[in-house]
Amino acid sequence: MSNNAAQNLNLHLRQQIGKVVFGMDEVLHGLVVAWIADGHVLLEGAPGLGKTLLAKSLAQLMSGSFGRIQGTADLMPSDITGLHIFNTEANSFEFVPGPLFNEVVLVDEINRAGPKTQSALLQAMEEKLVTLDRKTYPLAENFFLIAAQNPFDFEGVYPLLESQLDRFLVRLDINYPQLPAEVAVLRHYDKPGGGHSTALQQIQALPETLLRQARQEAAAVHVEDCLYHYAIMLAEASRNHPRLSLGLSTRGALAVMRCARVEAVLDGRDFLIPDDIKAVAPLVVGHRLLLSSEAMLEGYSAIQIYREIENQVAVPRSAEAK
């Protein structure tokens, strides 16, 4: 059986980005899921683990433009969206676009930016539009935002707003690589200057129509009503859990289903099964569930509580039998 478009995209991405980054198999899987599902990604990890290189690699793969925004306490909304500047020759204001007007955008250390600046990303992430001075400008058709945040025990960080977190389709944790992968990093990049630019030139662009075809395949996946009910039951159980102060929103349940569709086509199927939901849910719910203060004191994590919920909610039998 030949691969479908989603599987071919996954294979191409892993082969090409695997030339540049090492030891990130799980992260690459999450990126593929989010990219085909047309959502944005939140990366969490310590500085120096290759988050910028990963984002640049993806831009090279897409043959798209790349924009980088460095989160700082004094970063202003206009620094990322752009602004209108008066042109004395034309006697009118002209719009100067900011770095958001690229196909792949990395917001590095997003939680060092203040809440006002974080809020400037909301419309862009939800609608692929930016509104300034009562004028609305469209972003790139394949606009894809990757935000990196430092662990919360670092100094000088602002917690991300709940509305901001909810607009990231998935959150991926980047940990320190295993020994063979870290040795590969040193072997490839220990020369003066690092050699990142040369490495990126090795990446072959994705065939032009493959992403569109993969998204069409995901949209065509058959989903039984019992699986929609299953996703809602998981969300409702999170909303009523005593150790959670905020459960899964309707947007969060939608995100689970969008990613589950992609998981199905990556597995070569045109129908959804409960295991697809179980596979992607940890990527989707971990940053959306807010622990109660008691749960935080007791050392629980959002994923631990989600696993409790998953074990308590009955799996649909008709879909399970497929």
Distance CA 127, CA 100 (A): 13
Contact 277, 252 (CB under 8 A): no
Answer yes or no: do 110 and 257 share one domain.
no
Joined tokens for residue 18: 């695997």
Answer yes or no: do 166 and 227 share one domain.
no
Residue 7 burial (CB < 10 Å; 0-12/13-18/19+)? Answer: middle
Q: Is residue 213 part of a domain?
A: no
Answer yes or no: do 175 and 229 share one domain.
no
Distance CA 119, CA 116 (A): 5
Q: Look up the pTM and report it.
A: 0.89
Distance CA 32, CA 13 (A): 8
Q: 232: part of which helix (H) or strand (E)? A: helix 225-239
Q: Which residue has the tokens 């969300």?
A: 235
Instruction: List the pLDDT tens digit at each of the 322 positions of the chain.
Output: 457 999 999 999 999 999 999 989 999 999 999 999 999 999 988 888 888 888 889 888 888 888 989 988 889 999 999 988 988 888 888 889 999 999 989 898 888 888 888 888 988 999 999 998 888 999 998 899 999 887 766 666 777 878 888 889 999 988 888 999 999 999 988 888 777 778 888 898 888 889 999 999 999 999 999 999 999 999 999 999 999 999 999 999 999 999 999 999 999 999 999 999 999 999 999 899 989 999 989 989 999 999 999 999 999 875 544 4
Answer yes or no: do 194 and 285 share one domain.
no
Contact 288, 252 (CB under 8 A): yes
Structural domain boundaries enclosing 37: 5-208
Last residue of a domain, one of 179, 208, 237: 208
Phi, psi of 98 (to 5 degrees): -90, -175
CATH number of the domain bearing residue 287: 1.10.8.80
Answer yes or no: do 266 and 293 share one domain.
yes
Answer yes or no: do 227 and 202 share one domain.
no
What total number of domains does the chain contain?
Answer: 2
Distance CA 234, CA 311 (A): 10
Residue 27 burial (CB < 10 Å; 0-12/13-18/19+)? Answer: buried
Contact 80, 211 (CB under 8 A): no
SS3 287: coil
State the distance between the two ends of the chain, measured CA to CA, in whole angstroms: 20
Last residue of a domain, one of 208, 241, 261: 208
Contact 61, 206 (CB under 8 A): yes
| DSSP β-ladder status, 290-291 and 244-246 | antiparallel
